[in-house]
Amino acid sequence: MSGSLGIKIGTTGFAAAAVAEQARAGASGRCAPRLETIQHQATLIMTPGTAPTLARLGSGARPVQSGLAITGFVDRVGDPIDLIAADGSAHRPEDLVAGAVHYLTRYSAGAFTGAPAIAATYPSHWKSHDLQALREALDRMDMTGVDLVDEVGSILARVDATRGLPPDGIVVVYDLGGNGLSISLARRTEQIGTTIRSAEFGGSHIDYAIFRHVLSGLDGELGDIDLGDPALVAPLSELRLRCRQAKETLSAETVAVVEVELGRVRHEVRIVRSELEELIREPVVDSAAFIREALHANDIDAEDVRAVVLAGGAAATPLVAEMLSAEFHVPVIGEADSALTSAQGAALIASSSVSVADSPPQSVPEPDSITAPEAPESDPYIDTVPSDPPLAAVPPNPITAPEAPESDPYIDTVPSDPPLAAVPPKSVSAQGSGGGEKVRSRRKRALLAAAVIVAIAAAIVGVVAIVMPNTLTQPDPKPEQKPAVSEQVSVPRTPPSTPLPYPTRRVS
């Protein structure tokens, strides 16, 4: 995958956020991620012989593209009754939504070098059969790779990545969309209960309040103009769109100007933010009571609320954050453009799912490779000589057989002869301190190599215990530590010496 694409399915608008890797290597040599966002109206343009397209945001109520314009199809998903367009044609609402998603994937293809991972949000208040209907519609259009994710989860994923969420307590998701208000509760990114939906307050209600305010200011100029005249349907729709743009402007500015073109009337109406706040103050206050209703329905106290997360284009109105903060005395968190929050969160979810799927499994080392080998038990039959300064330890290869020990001029070994009883070799006197060290070093190497051979032979043919004479200088092991004796061999008494752990023949 070359990136991820998040798509928001909104009742009045669609949005897409593309996250791709751009070849802009910095000093570290890494490519910087690139985020591109686009917004469209929830107006699908149907043109014979071509795929459906979405009307661009800000293109006006009369789309530039020629064709049949269909609106209001998102809220109809799952409705068993077809949607009838202006030309009398019938359409399944979920098929229209799938066509809009397909358009956005094609529109955003230029942001990627290959096929991106795609996740599309669905409204959190949808029922299971609504979601299933959209899933089947996407599959019919060969978009099985598009994942459908809950809008609340997408909003929380985005805010947690950019602003952070409280580590404990309840988070209220206040999603003020175009056609209604959705209230959801969550602990960090995990939703609690179900989403509560109210269609009494939304972005379209704010637009209509501004629309009526503008018309009321033109009473003296409208005169005998009949607003019910069919010829004024398109100009009035255009005025509604300009009122919505004024709402968005007042979210960041204190003044907005609305141009009016109705018949012979040409006028500009100036609106300040305080006027807008007075128009919507009552429904905003009522929405706080709606949050308390959602808390009560889930048996949660208002004191457990730690933050309110804003989402939806209409939630950018400053009065909303002010009223909620004053009501619950908690931080109110929102993105710079709350209309894009869910689309950006969906892109993050799609990107994280690809990262998990593409990451190789972690190799778990074998226990033997991380456990230090136990120290061998001391052998009472081998002399210990003060060692020289320690050398670097070289771990043995468990697969390669040990090499045969070098021949020692002081010991004559005959592998072909049958095993004989251990007889002490003729003692060799040391010639000075240097000679003694040389003898001890050679003896040590021979004894260690022989111990390895005996250990291998014991694993193959079994263990044969030999009872050593009681005149040895080294103490016998405790009786309970002796290995089981399969046969006792009588050995004649000899002068005190250190026996070798392997059979030898007598050296003359």
Per-residue DSSP letters for 41-100?
A: EEEEEE-TTS--EEEETTS-SS-SS-SEEEES-GGGTT-SSPEE-TTS-EE-HHHHHHHH
Label residue 67 by pLDDT band (50, 70, 90).
confident
Residue type, 347: A
pLDDT over threshold 70, residue 194: yes
Residue type, 95: D
For strands 117-122 and 3-9, give the pairing: parallel
Mean pLDDT of the chain: 75
Least confident of 36-40, 236-240, 325-329, 457-461: 457-461
Average pLDDT over residues 454-476: 42
Residue type, 214: V
Label residue 406 by pLDDT band (50, 70, 90).
very low
Per the CB < 8 A criterion, the answer to whether 47 and 63 are in contact is no
Query: Which is it for the CA torsion 131, 313, 99, 79, positive or negative?
Result: positive
Give the pLDDT confidence score for residue 451 in this predicted structure: 54
- List Cβ neighbours of 493 (8 Å cut-off, separation of 6 or more): 469, 471
Give the pLDDT confidence score for residue 391 in this predicted structure: 36
> What's the token pair of residue 179?
């056609």
Average pLDDT over residues 330-355: 89
pLDDT over threshold 60, residue 461: no
Which residue, 74, 52, 54, 50, is CA-closest to 64?
54
Query: What single string gives the DSSP state of each residue in 107-135?
Result: HTGGG-SSPPEEEEEE-TT--HHHHHHHH
Of the chain, the percentage scoring pLDDT greater than 70 comes to: 65
pLDDT over threshold 50, residue 73: yes
Query: In the chain, what are the domain boundaries?
Result: 1-163+337-359, 166-334, 381-508
**Spatial separation of the C-alpha atoms in residues 279 and 311, rounded to whole Å:** 21
Label residue 212 by pLDDT band (50, 70, 90).
very high
- List Cβ neighbours of 469 (8 Å cut-off, separation of 6 or more): 491, 492, 493, 494
CA–centroid distance for 124 within its chain: 21
Give the pLDDT confidence score for residue 225 in this predicted structure: 81
Per the CB < 8 A criterion, the answer to whether 294 and 270 are in contact is no
Q: How far apart are the first and last CA of the chain?
A: 81
Give the pLDDT confidence score for residue 445 in this predicted structure: 58
Average pLDDT over residues 158-176: 94
Give the pLDDT confidence score for residue 418 in this predicted structure: 43
Strand, helix or coil at 484?
coil
Phi-psi region of 247 (alpha: psi -120 to 50; beta: other; left: phi over 0): alpha
Query: Which is it for the CA torsion 480, 486, 491, 495, positive or negative?
Result: negative
Strand, helix or coil at 37?
strand
pLDDT over threshold 90, residue 348: yes
Q: Which helix (H) or strand (E) holds 227?
A: none
The segment with the largest mean pLDDT, out of 102-116, 178-192, 452-466, is 178-192
Instruction: Answer with the residue of higher pLDDT: 11 or 435.
Output: 11
Least confident of 86-95, 162-171, 457-466: 457-466
Label residue 192 by pLDDT band (50, 70, 90).
very high
Please list the residues that pair with 307 across neighbouring strands: 171
Q: Could you report the per-residue pLDDT of 34-52, keeping only the tens digit for each?
A: 568 899 999 999 998 888 9
Give the pLDDT confidence score for residue 462 in this predicted structure: 43
Report CA dihedral (281, 283, 285, 286) to the nearest 10 degrees.
160
Class of domain 166-334: alpha beta
Label residue 227 by pLDDT band (50, 70, 90).
confident
Starting at the edge strand found earlier in the chain, the sheet holding 332-334 runs 190-198, 181-187, 170-176, 305-311, 332-334
Strand, helix or coil at 238?
helix
Place of tokens 């109406």: 269
Give the pLDDT confidence score for residue 115 in this predicted structure: 87
Label residue 59 by pLDDT band (50, 70, 90).
low
Superfamily for the 1-163+337-359 domain:
ATPase, nucleotide binding domain (3.30.420.40)
Least confident of 13-17, 100-104, 440-444: 440-444
**How far, in Å, are 63, 86, 120, 250 from residue 66 at the CA level?**
7, 14, 27, 32
pLDDT over threshold 50, residue 181: yes
Least confident of 303-307, 331-335, 474-478: 474-478
Average pLDDT over residues 461-477: 40
Q: Could you report the per-residue pLDDT of 243-297, keeping only the tens digit for each?
A: 999 999 999 999 999 999 888 888 899 999 999 999 999 999 999 999 999 999 9
Average pLDDT over residues 57-68: 63
pLDDT over threshold 50, residue 7: yes
Same fold, 1-163+337-359 and 166-334: yes
Please list the residues that pair with 305 across neighbouring strands: 170
- List Cβ neighbours of 485 (8 Å cut-off, separation of 6 or more): 465, 467
Least confident of 8-12, 35-39, 141-145, 410-414: 410-414
Query: What single string gives the DSSP state of each residue in 181-222?
Result: EEEEEEETTEEEEEEEEESSSSHHHHHHHHHHHHHHTTHHHH
> What's the token pair of residue 210?
């501004």
> What's the token pair of residue 28?
């570290």
R_g over Cα of the chain? 43
- List Cβ neighbours of 365 (8 Å cut-off, separation of 6 or more): none
- List Cβ neighbours of 421 (8 Å cut-off, separation of 6 or more): 466, 489, 491, 503
**Spatial separation of the C-alpha atoms in residues 176 and 280, rounded to whole Å:** 13
Q: At CA 81, angle to CA 78 and CA 87, rounded to 5?
A: 120
Strand, helix or coil at 360?
coil
**How far, in Å, are 215, 224, 244, 259, 260 from residue 265 at the CA level?**
11, 11, 20, 10, 7
DSSP letter, residue 158: H
